[in-house]
Amino acid sequence: MQHYDKIIQILKSGIGLDASTIGERTVEKILTQRMMICKIDSIDDYYQLLCRDPNEVNELLEFAVIPETWFFRDTRPFDVMFRQMQSALIKNRQRQFNILSIPCSTGEEPFSIAMHLIDNGLPEQCFNIDAVDISSRALDYAARGTYGRNSFRGNGYQPYQHKYFHPQGELFKLDEQIHKKVNFSRLNILHGDQHRLEKYDFILCRNLLIYFDVATKYTAFINLAKLLKKTGLLFIGHSEFGAVPRDIFKNTGSDYAFALCQYSHPDVTAAPQQKPASKKPLLKTVQRASFEQHIHATEKETGDTKNNDTDKLLQQAEDLANSAQYAQAEEICQQLIREDASQVKAFYLLGLIASGKQDSEAAESMFRKTIFLEPRHYEALSHLSLLLEKKGDPKNAELFRQRASRTRSMNKQT
């Protein structure tokens, strides 16, 4: 077990992966696959191999990278970028924009951006797209520009598939006009890049931070801030908003694009300073802690007064959600999560809100976080079962349905 923990630390130091975010079974599956390939039966022997063979460390890290992406997965940030670029070009036709996709995985996101912007009439020469990832294998795949049917899912890709791809048997080859617009390279966001400081007008970093622990998220946000121009926008995933360090970034109000911008002159190299307690009405009574406070939030005693405030805020959020005022309800939940990352009710309510907005991906993420914090949360288990059923995953849907049934029985007994 000691060597297993050391391997977990190798994953964290190599790619920032917090093993608890993907679950023990997934970690065991990754290790089992590598051990079978290496013809090793003992976890201790495999650890010894990692200690003496850097190539095997790289192979393990490659196996641990999760390349889940497809074309036009979510175009809402693309629309925000297009509108801002179009407005700026009216004032200055020579304006150049730099866009970063991180992690780019196998390339579907950055290529989608290029197709979207060009198809909406933006001149090719007015923007550049850099695409970076920690996985060399994923980058090699992306550079080939050839994709199978698994890369074409959901809605929105059909017009682009016929226009910008050429069939090659069961595969689709990307048109050279789009392919040449994206520059691929390797980058670990936890290490940063001194050659790209304040380079980008737009950065898309979606669904990466969910695999990091709190301290690692902070490092990633600092390095993203260094890459972003002072006037730039950072797009993150819906489920990552609760981890945003408010001393560096603030919400732009683009609720459905999840866009962040920096404060006017952020000192991203200094530790965030504690802010004075607010004297505003109830919505603001729970102080927005600095990121350092957030790291230690679960270690502090909250006291009866704060518990009462939390209950009132949760009720207020629930009332807002019931009246379809989702943005305000989400803000309260995210504020509570920033104060205490173990807020089960806030995560569950965010799942309900996402379901109400027909955002099944975000809903699934929030319900999973709820269950992680409270494994016997019957309602979250039930909702997740239904989401997986609609998603076309009957096997896992049945597993969660059974867990919900067992939970209901146990709850009745207690």
Domain boundaries, the chain: 2-64, 76-262, 282-413
What is the model's pLDDT at position 380? Answer: 87
What is the model's pLDDT at position 26? Answer: 87
User: For 238-255, what is the mean pLDDT?
Assistant: 77
Lowest mean pLDDT among 244-258, 371-385, 392-406: 244-258
What is the model's pLDDT at position 287? Answer: 34
Lowest mean pLDDT among 11-15, 266-270, 376-380, 394-398: 266-270
Decide: 207 and 233 in contact? Cβ < 8 Å: no
The residue that leads in pLDDT, 359 or 106, is 106
Q: What are the beta bridge partners of residue 202? A: 99, 233
What is the model's pLDDT at position 274? Answer: 40
Tell me the pLDDT of the chain averaged across its residues: 84
Top-ranked range on mean pLDDT: pick from 62-66, 119-123, 336-340, 397-401? 119-123
In which region does residue 110 sit, left (phi positive, over 0), alpha (psi from -120 to 50) or beta (all else)?
alpha
What is the model's pLDDT at position 300? Answer: 47
pLDDT digits (tens, 9 = 90+) for 254-284: 656 678 988 743 433 343 444 443 333 333 3
The topology under which CATH files domain 76-262 is Rossmann fold (3.40.50)
Under the banding of pLDDT at 50, 70 and 90, the label for residue 194 is very high
Alpha-carbon torsion (229, 232, 238, 242), positive or negative? positive
What is the model's pLDDT at position 411? Answer: 63
* pLDDT value at 288 more than 50: no
Under the banding of pLDDT at 50, 70 and 90, the label for residue 409 is confident
What is the model's pLDDT at position 167? Answer: 94
Q: What are the beta bridge partners of residue 200? A: 228
What is the model's pLDDT at position 88? Answer: 92
Decide: 171 and 96 in contact? Cβ < 8 Å: no
* pLDDT value at 124 more than 50: yes
Distance, in Å, from the CA atom of 47 to the CA atom of 52, rounded to the nearest integer, reads: 9
* pLDDT value at 10 more than 60: yes
What is the model's pLDDT at position 68? Answer: 78
User: For 96-125, what is the mean pLDDT?
Assistant: 96
The residue that leads in pLDDT, 261 or 322, is 261
What is the model's pLDDT at position 321? Answer: 79
Look-up: residue for tokens 């939390």?
310
* pLDDT value at 299 more than 80: no
What is the model's pLDDT at position 253? Answer: 67
User: For 211-226, what is the mean pLDDT?
Assistant: 92
Q: Does domain 282-413 have CATH number 1.25.40.10?
A: yes
Top-ranked range on mean pLDDT: pick from 106-115, 207-216, 237-246? 106-115
Q: What is the pTM of this model?
A: 0.64
pLDDT digits (tens, 9 = 90+) for 131-161: 999 999 999 999 999 999 999 987 778 889 9
